[in-house]
Structures are given as C-alpha cells and as structure tokens.
Structure 1
C-alpha cells in the first residue's frame, strides 16, 4: 500500500512539474507575443508574430493574430494610397480651377478697364467668360459626382435595360461631330436584342465619357468604333479608336483619380482626369467591369462587361 501511495505521489509530482513547465513556456510565449505586437504596432513594418510552440491553442491564437495583422497592414497601405491620391487630386483640381478662373479675371479686368470698348469685342470677351465659367462648373460637378460614387451616396437603381438601343442613341449623338471632323465610324451592334442588368442614366454617361475620350485623345487616328456582343451570361460593349493610344506603362493608371497623361495639360488634350475614374466607378456600380487594351495607332479599346439577361 505504501508503495502505491509513493507511486501516486511521484506521478502527481511529475504531472505538476510538467504543468508548471507548460504554463511557464506559455507565459514566456505570451510575453514574447506581447512585446512583438508592441513593436509591430508602433513601427511601420510588415512583420508577423512567430513563436516556436507545439501548443495547439496558442498556434490557433497566433494564426488569428497574424491574419489580423495582415488585414491591419493592408488597411494602412490602402489608407496611404488614398491619402497620396487625395493630395494629388486636390493639387490637380487647384490647378484646373486656377487656370480658367485666372482667364476669367483677365477678361473681366479688360472689360472693366476699357469703358470705350467696341460692343462686338465686349460681346466676344463676355462669351469667353461664359465658356470658361462653364468649364469650372463642369469640373466641380465631376468632382462631387466622384465623391458621391466613392462614398456610396449616389443612388443607382439596377433595372433591365435594352443595350442595343442605348448604344445606338449614344453614337448618334456624336455622329455629326465625328463626320464633320473626318472620322471613319464603325458601329457593330447585333440585330438580336440584348438586355442587361444596369442603369440607363449611368450607361449613357459611361458611353458619353468613353466616346468623348476617344474623340479627344484618339482623334489623330481618325477612326472610332463601337462594338456590342453577347456571350453566355455576359454582354460586352467596346469603344475603340486608332489614335496614339496609351503606353503599356500607363494602362493600369488611367482609371486612377486625377491621373492624366503628360500631354493632357496641353490645350489640345486638356482634361480634368476625372472622366475615366467616374466611368469605372459607374461601371462597377451597375455590377460590371471595364478593362483597357492599347496598341498605339493600331487600336485602343475600352471594353465593358455587363450581366446579360437570358430568356
């Protein structure tokens, strides 16, 4: 009996010693985790918390901590990108507002300082003031439209829309401008009706932005087209031109806020840099996607994918 009690006591001592060592190792591991988290949270680093352990519970906690750290680091990176983009956007908006407003002030000073100005000259200058003022208003409207889209404040109801007709009407609005400027126009819209989920107002604006962009930046190719196709559960519409295109280094940037090519600051190519960003946000808001492919002076294509309605 005495031997049995001694054996039990020895076993209990061993168990207690093992538990003590286990708790001590876990305590050291938790202290290490705490110190590492403090360093990671206080310094800009992409490190993870690493601990050598066979404690399944601790391994599970570490996995969750590292996933949370990964999410936190991605959030910080996204915030930094947004902050840089916002600063660039505000800088460019200030530039684009300052230029026409300076011109407006110059016209008004000329009119004010010359009371004997010929009526025809005064009328011409006032017309220029009116045109420049409309440019400023258009830029402000684009800025607020983008802000509403990105904040989710703009209501865009999704309904069934007739894609063929919307595309035809959009091209017809520009047909006179295109023919006057000597463009060769190619329209490829199937006779078979294509219905998609979307928003007619949003799609009209998307097409207007893409067509006007092709005229403005791809006009030197003197050829512009619109193609509509349907396949399976998807419908596609493409606006293309054969102008100078966009270098492959810039393709991934054209949808960024306030991104403009270098020559977009020239008079012939001036733009706010908001049009394509708004276009992308509108496409996404109606459940679609947009991509750009460009080979200079061969074909530059903006292709939109929408959800097709089958019967």
Structure 2
C-alpha cells in the first residue's frame, strides 16, 4: 500500500513540476511577445513573431497576431502611398493652377495698362484670356471629378449600351481633327451589334480621353486605330497609335493618381496627371479593366473591357 501511495505522490509531483515548467515557459513566451510587439510598434518594424513552442493555444495566438501585423504593414504602406500621392497632387495641381492664372493675369494687366492697343489686338488678348480660362476650368473640373470618384460620391448608373454606335460616334467626333492632322485612321467595328453593361456618358468620356491622347501624343506615327471586339463574356475596345510609345519602366505606373513622366512623350502624363486616372476609375466603376501595351514606334495600345450582355 505504501509503495503505491509513494508512486501516486511521485506522479503528482511530476505533473506539478511539468505544469509549473509549462507555465514558466508560457510566461516567458508571453513576456517575449509583449516586448517584441512594443519594439515592432515603436520602431515601425516589419518583423514577425517567431517562437518555438508546442503550446497549441499559443501557436493559434501567434498566427492571428502575425496576420494582424501583416494587415497593419499593408495598411501603413497604403497610407504612405496615399499621403505621398496627395502631396504630389497638391504640388502638381497648385503648379497647374498657377501657370494659367499667371498668364491670364498678364493678359489682363496688358489690357488695362497698355493704352496703345488696337481693337484687333485687344480682341486677340481677350480670346487668349478665354482660352486660358477654359483650360483652367477644365483642370478644376477634372480635379473634382476624380475627388468624387475616389470618394464614392459619383454614382454611375449601369445600363445596356450598344458599343458599335458609341464607338462610331466618338471616332466621328474627331473626324475634322484627324483629317487636318493627316492621320491614317483604321477602324475595326463589326457589323453585328455588341452590347455592354456600362454607362454611355462614362464610355464617351473614356473614349474621348483615349482618342485625344492618341492624336496628341501619337502624332509621330501618323496612324490611329479603334478596334471593337468581343468574346462570350466581355466587350473589348482598343485605341492605338504608332507614336513614340511608353517605356517598360513607366508603363506600369501611368494609371497612378497624378503620376507624371519625365519622358516628354508625353506631357500626357505631365501636368496634373488626372486624365488617365479618371479614365481608369470610370472603367473600374463599370466593373471593367483597362490595360496598356506599348512598343515604341510600332504600337501603343490602351484597351479596356466591359461585361458583355447577350440580349
């Protein structure tokens, strides 16, 4: 009886010792987690919590904490990108507002103080004032349009639209400009009607932006094209030119908010940098996607797709 009692006592003591050592190990691990988290927070470190343990509960907690750290890092990175983008936006928009305002002020001062201006000269200056004022108003409208799109304040009603007619209408709107500039226009619009889920006003603006950009910055190639295609799921519209193109380095960033290129292809991406960003946001608002492919002096293609409707 006594040996059995001694064995039971010994077993209980072993259990107590094991539990004590496990508790001490967990306490040390929890203390490490606490200190490590403080360090990660204070130093904005991207480290993770790594502990060797057989404690299943502690392992589960570590997994959740590391997932939270990942989320925190991504959120902080997005915040920093947004903050830098906003700083750049303010700088660019301030510059683009200042430039036409300075020119307008110069014209107005000339009109006020130069008593020797003829009526014809005054008319020319007034026309220039109007042109610069229109440019300024257009920039302000773009800025507020982008702000509304990104804030979710601009609702876009989606309906069934006939893409063949929308594409024809928009390319015809540029007919005089294309003719005057000597462009070879290549249009590929099928006869069978193709319907997309979208917003006609938004598609008009997207096509207007892409066509005007191709005309303005693809002039060296003297060719501009519009292709309309479809598969079972999507409608595809491509606007292309054979101008200087966009380098591989810059190609991935042209749709970023207010991104500007140093490369003079293109003042398309200089200045406020709002046009392509608005275009991208409008495509996305309609559930679509826009892409860019470019081989300098061969083909630069901006293409977007929208959901196809087969009824």
TM more than 0.5: yes
Task: Return the offset for 1:177.
Answer: 1.0
Contact 2:280 2:289 in 1 (8 A): yes
Distance 1:75 1:268 in 2: 31
RMSD: 1.8
Alpha carbons of 1:140 and 1:94: their partners in 2 closer, same or farther (altered >3 Å)? same
Gapped regions of structure 1 (runs ≥ 5): none
The residue number in structure 2 matching 1:302 is 302
Contact 1:216 1:269 in 2 (8 A): no
The more displaced of 173-182 and 4-13 is: 4-13
Q: How many residue pairs align between the two structures?
A: 311
What pairs up with 1:5-154 in 2 under 5 angstroms? Answer: 5-154=5-154
Gapped regions of structure 2 (runs ≥ 5): none
- Secondary structure of 1:253's counterpart equals coil
The residue number in structure 1 matching 2:245 is 245
What pairs up with 1:159-308 in 2 under 5 angstroms? Answer: 159-262=159-262, 271-308=271-308
List per-residue Cα deviations over 1:58-99 (Å, max 9, x = no partner): 111101111110110011111111111111111111111111
- Secondary structure of 2:292's counterpart equals strand
- Secondary structure of 1:262's counterpart equals coil
List per-residue Cα deviations over 1:97-133 (Å, max 9, x = no partner): 1111110010011111123421111111111111101
Alpha carbons of 1:282 and 1:172: their partners in 2 closer, same or farther (altered >3 Å)? same
Distance 1:96 1:265 in 2: 19
Contact 1:241 1:301 in 2 (8 A): yes
Distance 1:310 1:24 in 2: 68
Distance 1:114 1:33 in 2: 76
Distance 1:51 1:268 in 2: 52
Distance 1:266 1:195 in 2: 33
